[in-house]
């Protein structure tokens, strides 16, 4: 009987730990990935000690405009056949980021300049981007070296963390951004998650 009691007690403890883990995961899904990003401050690639001489790109663009980027390689890199890939990701003022994808890149100046452009989406907040250099030996390097994205903000952006609008082409807006079509109401998915958390917490308390 003692062994059976200990097994039942252990099972209850594991069930509670599993419930707590699920609660933590649910909470984590609603922490915005842009929370640590300061609105309006572009994040650039540090080209020092790299095969790149400079990177030029668009910033403060409005919706529907051509976002352009050019990567300039040094002579050693271009002569050695180094090629460039650019990964882009566009994010909206609702906090939604589209899946990142590699864009078409064209070369010029004897493969020393690599450029690409695309049209910004409606209500875009910023463009995330990365640069990858492919070497002839099969190796590759990606910038920023931190693993995070470089970032260029739009002409009209919304800072989710501070609940403010900003940008050179955006007048101040007093009403917080409506993400669900109804002012002041939280999203359905958020309410559903809160309900699930309440049920889990009640179950945890009753065990």
The predicted structure's pLDDT at residue 162: 84
The predicted structure's pLDDT at residue 27: 45
Rounded to whole angstroms, the Cα distance separating 92 from 156 reads 10
For domain 52-166, give its CATH number from 3.90.550.10, 3.40.605.10, 2.60.40.10, 2.40.110.10.
2.60.40.10
pLDDT band for position 31 (50/70/90)? very low
**Residue 53 structure tokens:** 């001489």
Backbone torsions φ then ψ of 160, nearest 5 degrees: -65, -40
pLDDT band for position 75 (50/70/90)? very high
> Does the predicted TM-score (pTM) go above 0.95?
no
* Surface-to-core class of residue 134, CB atoms within 10 Å of its CB (0-12 exposed, 13-18 middle, 19+ buried): middle
> pLDDT: is 25 or 58 the higher one?
58
Confidence check: pLDDT of 7 > 70: no
Rounded to whole angstroms, the Cα distance separating 138 from 91 reads 32
Q: What is the mean pLDDT of the chain?
A: 79
């Amino acid at each position: 009987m003692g062994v059976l009691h200990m097994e039942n007690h252990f099972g209850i403890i594991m069930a509670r730990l599993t419930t707590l883990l699920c609660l933590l995961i649910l909470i984590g899904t609603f922490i915005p990935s842009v929370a640590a990003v300061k609105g309006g401050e572009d994040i650039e690639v540090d080209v020092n000690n790299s095969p790149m001489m400079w990177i030029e790109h668009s910033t403060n663009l409005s919706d529907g405009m051509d976002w352009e980027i050019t990567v300039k390689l040094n002579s050693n890199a271009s002569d050695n056949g180094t090629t460039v890939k650019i990964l882009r990701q566009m994010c909206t003022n609702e906090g939604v980021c589209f899946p990142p994808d590699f864009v078409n890149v064209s070369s010029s100046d004897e493969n020393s300049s690599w450029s690409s452009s695309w049209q910004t989406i409606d209500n875009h907040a910023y463009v995330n981007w990365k640069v990858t250099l492919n070497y002839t030996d099969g190796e590759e390097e990606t910038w920023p070296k931190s693993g995070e994205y470089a970032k260029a903000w739009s002409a009209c952006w919304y800072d989710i963390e501070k609940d403010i609008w900003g940008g050179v082409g955006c007048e101040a807006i007093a009403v917080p951004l409506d993400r669900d079509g109804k002012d002041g109401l939280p999203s359905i998915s958020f309410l559903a998650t809160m309900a699930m958390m309440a049920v889990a917490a009640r179950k945890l308390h009753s065990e």
